[in-house]
C-alpha cells in the first residue's frame, strides 16, 4: 500500500548540521520526498502537532524545544511509508532505539530525539495539514520506484 508519511527534523538536529545525513537515510530507503521546507514553527502549529500530549508533564518543555529554532517538515511517499519511517527513526527514547536507527545513532535524550514522524496514515494527514497546503505537495515519478 502506497502511503504518505509526515516527518519533522527537530531543532537540535538542524543546529548540529545533520539535515543532509538524516534526509539521505529516507532517500536511500527508497522513499520519495513529495514536500519539504525549512520553517520556524509558530506556537499554534506546535500546539496542534502535539495536542495529544497537552496534559503530560513534559508538554511545555516539548513545545519550547520545537520552537527553539528552525525545523524541517517533509512528506515522504512509498510502500508502507508510515512504518518504514518509524523503523528507520527507531524508538522514541534514543537510549532504547536500535543502534542502527536515526535516533539510536544520533540522539541522547527523549526530548531532543532528532526526528518526529506520525504513528498512522490518518495522523500523518492531520499533521502535514498543519504545515502544508495541498498545492505544496508535488506528484512526480522517480526513474526507479519501489
Binders in 6-65 for ligand CMP, by CB under 6 A: 53, 58, 62
Biggest CA–CA distance in the chain, Å, is 47
Residues 23/88, Cβ–Cβ less than 8 Å:
no
- In the complex, least distance from residue 110 CB atom to ligand CMP, rounded to whole angstroms: 4
In this structure, what C-alpha cell is assigned to residue 103? 535516533
Rounded Cα distance, 132 and 130, in Å: 6
For residues 104-119, b (16+ Cβ closer than 10 Å) or e, as one string? bbbbeeeebbbbbbbe
Query: Position of cell 536515526?
Result: 102
Nearer Cβ to ligand CMP (32/116): 116
Q: Is 92 labeled as ligand-binding?
A: yes
92 binds ligand CMP (CB under 6 A): yes
Q: SS3 of 143, please?
A: coil
Least distance from ligand CMP to the Cβ atom of residue 62, Å? 5
**Annotated binding-site residue? 16:** no
By CB under 6 A, residue 114 contacts ligand CMP: no
Contact 87, 48 (CB under 8 A): no
48 vs 110, beta carbon nearer ligand CMP: 110
Smallest distance, ligand CMP to C-beta of residue 2, A: 23
The set of catalytic residues is 116
Residues that bind ligand CMP in the complex, under the rule CB under 6 A: 53, 58, 62, 92, 110-111, 113, 116
Annotated binding-site residues read: 10, 58, 86, 92, 103, 113
Annotated binding-site residues for ATP read: 10, 58, 86, 92, 103, 113
Amino acid at each position: 500500500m502506497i502511503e504518505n508519511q509526515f516527518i519533522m527534523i527537530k531543532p537540535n538536529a538542524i543546529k548540529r548540521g545533520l539535515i543532509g545525513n538524516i534526509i539521505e537515510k529516507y532517500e536511500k530507503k527508497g522513499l520519495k520526498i513529495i514536500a519539504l521546507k525549512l520553517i520556524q514553527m509558530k506556537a499554534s502549529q506546535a500546539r496542534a502537532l502535539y495536542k495529544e500530549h497537552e496534559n503530560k508533564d513534559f508538554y511545555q518543555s516539548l513545545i519550547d524545544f520545537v520552537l527553539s529554532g528552525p525545523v524541517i517538515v517533509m512528506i515522504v511517499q512509498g510502500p508502507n511509508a508510515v512504518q518504514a519511517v518509524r523503523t528507520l527513526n527507531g524508538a522514541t527514547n534514543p537510549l532504547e532505539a536500535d543502534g542502527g536507527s536515526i535516533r539510536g545513532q544520533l540522539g541522547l535524550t527523549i526530548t531532543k530525539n532528532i526526528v518526529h514522524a506520525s504513528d498512522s496514515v490518518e495522523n500523518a494527514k492531520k499533521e502535514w495539514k498543519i504545515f502544508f497546503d495541498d498545492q505544496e505537495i508535488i506528484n512526480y515519478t522517480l526513474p526507479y520506484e519501489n
